[in-house]
């Protein structure tokens, strides 16, 4: 006789098995920022296109991602918001229970000068007052998919060459993909090395949107 509970937990185990891969977790993390084609995912994850395609196939088999076709191009996206919540829960559980994770976060993700990151509500109040520049240092495709309303887009790889685009004398708050993304910390280090007052936002666009705070979409405006 079939044991329904055993069958159910077999299905739960399918998700755990698919998640037991650094590359697949990284691909899911990238997809929390919006829909992407496989070529972009491969480049941003540091994988070959065939390797990324294989991992994405596994994620799709487990119904964690979905696809759409536009001509010859196939785009991937998270299946639903629960997948993003699952990924964040996994990260938070690892942080709470693994000393190695906490040590890595302390060494590489905390503010370079030991100052607290700016939380979402504080940043929103300062944005409303107009006394801060919000800087999105993610790749252009992620900014286009959704960004904090009014944020300036300068991808981290272009920051040194485009510092002159930031108004002098204004405080800058940089953000990237969320609490486990290094781009905002790197941006703060570079901005401060050039004498700017800079801080990082505590979380990412997804958390900002969840609070009902204003989000926009579309390509960066050209100067």
Write out the catalytic residue numbers: 176
- Cα 203–chain centre separation: 9
Cα separation, 90 vs 59, whole angstroms = 16
Residue pair 109/185 in contact (Cβ under 8 Å)? The answer is yes
Residue 150: left if φ>0, alpha if ψ -120 to 50, beta else—which one? left
Q: How many CB atoms lie within 10 A of CB 74?
A: 14
Cα separation, 33 vs 172, whole angstroms = 22
13 CB contacts (<8 Å, ≥6 apart)?
Answer: none
Residue pair 49/42 in contact (Cβ under 8 Å)? The answer is yes
Pick from 177, 97, 179: nearest CA to 145: 177
Pick from 200, 192, 189, 186: nearest CA to 132: 200
């Amino acid at each position: 006789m079939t044991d329904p509970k055993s069958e159910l937990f077999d299905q739960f185990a399918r998700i755990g098995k698919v998640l037991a891969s650094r590359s697949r977790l990284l691909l899911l993390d990238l997809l929390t920022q919006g829909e992407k084609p496989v070529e972009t995912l491969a480049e941003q994850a540091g994988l070959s296109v065939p390797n990324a395609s294989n991992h994405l196939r596994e994620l799709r088999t487990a119904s964690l991602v979905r696809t759409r076709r536009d001509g010859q191009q196939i785009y991937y996206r998270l299946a639903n918001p629960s997948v993003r919540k699952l990924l964040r829960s996994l990260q938070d559980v690892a942080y709470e229970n693994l000393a190695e994770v906490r040590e890595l976060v302390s060494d590489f993700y905390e503010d370079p000068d030991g100052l607290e990151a700016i939380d979402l509500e504080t940043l929103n109040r300062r944005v409303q007052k107009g006394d801060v520049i919000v800087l999105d240092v993610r790749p252009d495709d992620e900014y286009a998919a959704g960004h904090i309303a009014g944020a300036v887009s300068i991808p981290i790889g272009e920051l040194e060459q485009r510092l002159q685009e930031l108004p002098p004398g204004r405080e800058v708050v940089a953000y990237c993909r969320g609490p486990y993304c290094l781009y905002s910390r790197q941006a703060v280090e570079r901005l401060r090395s050039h004498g700017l007052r800079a801080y990082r936002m505590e979380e990412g666009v997804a958390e900002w949107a969840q609070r009902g705070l204003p989000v926009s979409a579309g390509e960066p405006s050209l100067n």
